[in-house]
Amino acid sequence: MSMSEEAKRQLGEFVKLQVYDDKYIDRKEEKKILEEAMKRNISIDDALAVMRSIASAHDYVVERDVETRCKEMLEQFAGDGKVDKKEFEDAVGMYKKGSRGRVPESEIRRRLKSVMIDQGWKAKEGGLFSSKWFSEIS
């Protein structure tokens, strides 16, 4: 089922309204957009396509996309099943830049730690001159 141009336009305007103040689509706003699409009988896939198209055209940030890029980055680093402190910090920096500082660094660290735990990746920490950097993230 194809979405009409008018439905795309209306959903696009709803997306713009959600990000009017900060140009950032967090998970709550994304869910609101998808719920609005469902009310209008627009599929989730079509709604996501419209949201990403609007975000791209207006330089909005989609939080889920930032998280996905950082997860992919950590996945590359964890080729041996472990991520070291510098690699983790690189992912934190990428997340911070990608989210335009909208997410506090402490929250970024918690989210990325959670990703690592969920994926079963270990942190390279400890040793003679290292700290327990990963364990200290709360």
Q: Which long-range contacts link 112-116 to residues 24+ away (Cβ below 8 Å)? A: 112/70, 112/74, 112/88, 113/137, 115/67, 115/70, 115/71, 115/74, 116/74, 116/78, 116/83, 116/88
pLDDT digits (tens, 9 = 90+) for 49-63: 999 999 999 999 999
Distance CA 70, CA 88 (A): 10
d(CA 13, CA 35): 15
> What pLDDT is stored for residue 131 in this prediction?
72
Q: Which of 130, 137, 80 is nearest to 112 (CA)?
A: 137
Percent of the chain beyond pLDDT 70?
Answer: 95
- pLDDT reading at 82 higher than 90: yes
Categorize the per-residue pLDDT at 123 as very low, low, confident or very high, splitting at 50, 70 and 90.
Answer: very high
Model confidence at 103, in pLDDT bands (50, 70, 90)? very high
What per-residue confidence (pLDDT) applies to 133?
A: 87
Instruction: Give the C-alpha distances (Å, rounded to integers) separating 94 from 13, 41, 68, 80, 132.
Output: 29, 36, 11, 21, 22
Tokens, residue 131: 């700290």
The pLDDT tens digits for 15-72 are 999 999 999 999 999 999 999 999 999 999 999 999 999 999 999 999 999 999 999 9
Sequence ranges of the domains in the chain: 5-59, 63-124
